[in-house]
Structure 1
Amino acid sequence: MAFEIEYQNTWLTPTLEDIVMFVIGGDWGKEPTIIDDDYVKVLCIRGSEIRDWSKNKGNTASIRAIKKSSLETRELIEGDILIEISGGGPDQPVGRTVLIDKQTLSYLPETPKVCTNFLRLLRFPKAIDSIFLNLFFDFFYASGEIVNYQGGSNNLRNLKFAEFSKINIPLPPLNEQHRIVSKIEELFSELDNGVSNLKLAQNQLKVYRQALLKFAFEGKLTEQWRKENNPEPADKLLERIKEERQQRYEQELKDWKAAVKAWEKDGKKGIKPGKPRKIKELTPFTKAELNEFPELPALWEWAKIDKLTEYSPYAIKAGPFGSSLKKEFYVEKGYKIYGQEQVISGDAHFGDYYVDEEKYKELISCKTKPYDALISLVGTVGKVLILPENAEDGIINPRLVKLSLDKNYYSPFLFKFFFESYFLKSLYSIHTHGATMDVLNLGIIQGLPFPLMSKEEQEKIVNEIELQFSIIDNLEHTIKSGLQKSEALRQSILKKAFEGKLVPQDPNDEPASELLKRIQAEKKKYLEEQKQQKSKKPKNIKKMNKELSIEEVLKTSDKPMLAKEVWQKSKHKENIEDFYKELKDIQSKIKEVKKGTESLLSLSK
């Protein structure tokens, strides 16, 4: 939403720097294990606490140790506002704020609270309602206007606080501030109840989705269908699969012998045809293992994955080694490289990484075809993508496993539903005595049990699941739309509030002009008191550590350093803007390497 707002003509709009009384950066301090009388243990609020602030109110803050002298100026009190000045990312600008209230301070009340140096403490005169101010900061951030005050890179953004402090703050009379806050809290309470109900329904649908899958793979979804249709038992199906594979192998041997005879007749020119190898089967489940698994319907069987895939040496295949598929091999067009981007997004056509025909032939064992099941081993572990009929020819990358399922005997879509179910995860936990599927590899997949039933029943199960899931999808879409409307309504309420249209004005209120005079007087008095207290403190005769420039900090290490670490060790640890200014000035001397969401800095050689 654009930040367009018309304030009441009876209000004033001073800048943030006009009304803020005290501003200071936080202190991350040292490990709490430090033994030093000059240090005291504190709870240090970080940027990561902001996400769930309304729920936790900072009770997940880290225990740290900071100097007593630092605590004197940084200890948080009720009404303080913390603003995020560094962090963020491409989808989350910095500039989020939280209000320190009684609930925050009541958690471990004997332990002082401070904020990390990635946040900044803002303290305002008591003549301003700090809840009102924080609501305005929330509104300003949500409007998107905050992006105009961003600096730094995508991986480490910083708030240009000097510029941000020039933003105009709406200043109605104090009593009107209180009325606005009271009305917003009343409306937000009703809105929160509605949002809570929507989220409850959202979670219930997730539970229902998994309950449906469990019901299906216990055989209960098609129980009546089996009674009415008497399908082929799975043990007979397994016998047919075994017989067909044996016949295929015998045919391959026959064809090989014929090829050898032709080769001999031709004077043994060229390379002798290679003898076909019989594909090695996985070790079947023992009786003890089968007894650990849930009981299946009488016509079903537990089977390992090799019984469900095509009879081919590459039907079950992990991606190539990373060294075989470096980015230097990528081309603009050719054979597609399938990775977790396609699997996690559920879109086989996503992405534009390709290899040429030479590299494709080199990695032919990793080739894909329509209806292959691709399984993600990293990111969202265990996510499955079934390649559509119009999927491009390609190969998998090292982060995937490919299964070419035999569609004559096993539905790829049934496989996807089963593999992504909590039901399978519970079976894995039973089979491995409590382990979880946080890590996945080909060996684990080859040891998992899969329910096998007749092909007709498989199709019936898939159809029933897809029907129910389409209903769930529609309901989830409705809920998502409701949540989006709730957020839009929340911003509409705030906009109305800060335009002075949410509550009536009262001519008996103290005028905003008089309020501003009181604010400025309180601010002036506070600053004078701070100055007097500072002058009374004995001078520290201890030799101060030399303040280091960025270049000097980097010279202390023979390895690249995290940008955050360089900042904290430099003379700019209290001012992120000065840090970036110096970094820009010496950028020709600096080498920056991206590592995930972090930046590593070193001196150029």
Structure 2
Amino acid sequence: MATQRYSVTPHPIDTLLTWVKSGEIAIPEIQRPFVWEATKVRNLLDSLYQGFPVGYLIAWRNPTVKLKDGTTSAGKRILIDGQQRVTALMASLLGMEVLTKDYASVRIRIANEFVTEIGIKAGRLRIFPEGTLLVAMYGEGKTRGQVSELGIAATINQACAAIHSPKELHLMPFIKIALKANYLEMRQLAEGGNQPNLNLSKIKDFPIRVPPKDEVFEICDQVESLFSLADQLEAKLTAARKFVDRLTPALLAKAFRGELVPQDPNDEPASMLLERILAVRQADSARGKTIRSRRSGTKGSRTKTASITNMLKRDQIAQNHLSSILMECGPLSAEALLSASQLEIDDFYDQLRDEEANGFLRENRGDSSKSPRVLEHVV
């Protein structure tokens, strides 16, 4: 039978976006530019909000493939199928620029709800142009004081304050950065009882020191570069944490199967260990009977009752019975643990197998083949 060279793994959308932000997903040079219309992007997002999957994506690992940005694909997932969907998510949810079929870098701007001309006139709504900054004035959680930017011309409700200056458009990126940097200070200006809110007067009076025009551009470029780097580092950290979460159970499983280190063929099989434990147990039992027999046959001696340990059954013990003993006493040999468990040999073996499978305990073989093998509690 041929060896399967692929695997199918489900991932949530946030994992996919993490890969995009960290640069782990790469698009090969042979892939076409982004050709979807904005309505198709909106339909994809609508289906995701309704609980439908994004569909199958095919990724390939090959360190020598040339990418669209001219670099190679070492350490990355090369996207073979699903580029349009991933690019749509990247642009719409992360606000990243995409390369169109005309080879122009653009941002996708879509909306799900619209106001008619009749609604605008009836409600006397004001339409703010693209690039207008919005500050959330309500909300006790993280919402109040948050800053965003309109990607399309739109109207707003009373929960937002709009910041726009046609004569000073070059200052908008700097003001956005300054408001984000002073998020906590802005929140502290809120007033009210159970739910403190901001108002237009407080936002208008919020002080922002503006540097000369040439410095504004330099500051914005530097900050955007650092923000981009921070997003990549955060995404890589998130991906690393998820990898560690998946790695720990995998390592434990390999440890229990004896696959972490090369196995010594001279190691004693488990069946022989159990036979030896049984022999020791039977010998101890026979020796105890002989002693009791001699004492009971001694004439004129005071009658003494030998101490007999009451054996336990598996339905009388906790699920982690053996690991609890190891936690209290420290690592023990199998023989010592058997004696302390107060279980019959068959019950002991079954309990040992179950606790090992559940990750309560493990066998420690030591650093060399000559080291004694002991059982220890898993923290």
TM over 0.5: no
| TM-score, length basis structure 1 | 0.24
> Which has a greater percent of strand?
1
Max radius of gyration: which structure? Answer: 2
| TM-score, length basis structure 2 | 0.36
Structure with bigger RCO (C-alpha 8 Å, 6+ apart): 1
